Amino acid sequence: MKKDTIVKLENVYFAYTNVSVLEDINITIKQNDFLGIIGPNGGGKTTILRIILGLLEPDKGKVYVFDTSAKKARQHIGYLPQHITFDFDFPISVSEVVLMGRLGKRGIGRKYTKTDISVCMAALEKVGMQQYRNNEIGKLSQGQRQRVFIARALSTEPKLLLLDEPVSSVDTQWQQTFYELLHDLNKEMTIVLVTHDISVVSTYIDKIACLNKRLYYHGSKKEGMHKISEMYEYPVQLITHAPAHNSVGDNDK
């Protein structure tokens, strides 16, 4: 791979029990890209993230992440899944949840260092949750919990940040702040943001991948809007403005 290439998928196919989910996917993600993967429910967006993470093996094709296998590269990736399995009745503090993100670097059974704690506190501050660091996570609102899990993903100090529907349970005001945060983080890392909702495509996203089993388009978002319309089978107009960033269909004018 070229030095600035972070992820490369070549002719990737994947199916769940003979139900095809991805067909002939070819995509290249470069250093400091801010890629939005757009598509309808069931279009394969979450699956492609799990393949990049090495959690799923493609039936056909090749996957390169940081010029090695996806599994070996996992330590360089921060990931926020769409659905988080967590026992919120378990008495664990916000800071302890975020520190879990350091286990990949520290190892289970080893004590956290001052550096681990410092990195986690900085991550909590970035998402506006540092003042809740001693609170039990089970007593937070759903939106607050989501912020904590975003901080946990950031605590890994990733070179690549994968986000699957990250603002689905947070308020509109935080969504605006969140996209501004991603804009700043993008200076330090490559970001892939998955969504089925076109309205979350912000001004800050520079590339899009239109995915519905097959890849309809991958490149500049402005050049790809007609492909989004083709994929969704209705006209789509992109509207971008600060500070709110969204994309709406003609019927939403």
Gap between the Cα atoms of 177 and 188, Å rounded: 18
The verdict on residue 130 lying in a domain is: no
SS3 69: coil
Nearest to 90 by CA among 36, 136, 34: 136
pLDDT band at 117 (very low <50, low <70, confident <90, very high): very high
pLDDT 10s digits, 61-105: 999 999 899 988 988 999 988 877 777 888 899 999 999 888 876
> H/E element holding 110?
none
* Mean pLDDT estimate for the chain: 83
The verdict on residue 135 lying in a domain is: no
Q: What is the phi/psi pair of residue 229, to 5°?
A: -60, -40
Provide the residue range defining the domain that includes 226: 5-90+158-252
The verdict on residue 179 lying in a domain is: yes
The verdict on residue 98 lying in a domain is: no
The verdict on residue 230 lying in a domain is: yes
The domain tally of the chain equals 1
**Residue entry with tokens 């400091």:** 32
Residue 72: CB atoms within 10 A of its CB come to: 12
What's the pTM value of the predicted model, to 2 decimals? 0.83
Gap between the Cα atoms of 214 and 225, Å rounded: 16
Tokens of 79: 């990931």
153 neighbors 78 (Cβ within 8 angstroms): yes
In this structure, the strands spanning 190-195 and 160-164 are parallel
Strands (E) in 54-155, as ranges, are 60-65, 77-80
Integer distance in angstroms from the first to the last C-alpha of the chain? Answer: 44
Tokens of 86: 């967590």
The verdict on residue 133 lying in a domain is: no
CATH of the domain at 62: 3.40.50.300
Average pLDDT, integer, range 157-180: 81
The verdict on residue 204 lying in a domain is: yes
Strands (E) in 17-132, as ranges, are 19-30, 34-38, 60-65, 77-80
CB-based contacts of 181, cutoff 8 Å, min separation 6: 126, 127
**Is residue 166's pLDDT more than 50?**
yes
Dihedral angle sign, alpha carbons of residues 63, 45, 183, 126 = negative
Nearest to 123 by CA among 157, 154, 88: 154
The verdict on residue 142 lying in a domain is: no
CB-based contacts of 38, cutoff 8 Å, min separation 6: 45, 195, 196, 198, 201, 208, 209, 210, 211, 228, 231
SS3 124: helix
pLDDT 10s digits, 181-235: 888 889 889 999 998 766 666 577 889 998 999 998 888 877 766 666 666 665 5
Q: What is the largest CA-CA distance in the chain?
A: 56
Give the model's pLDDT for residue 123. 93
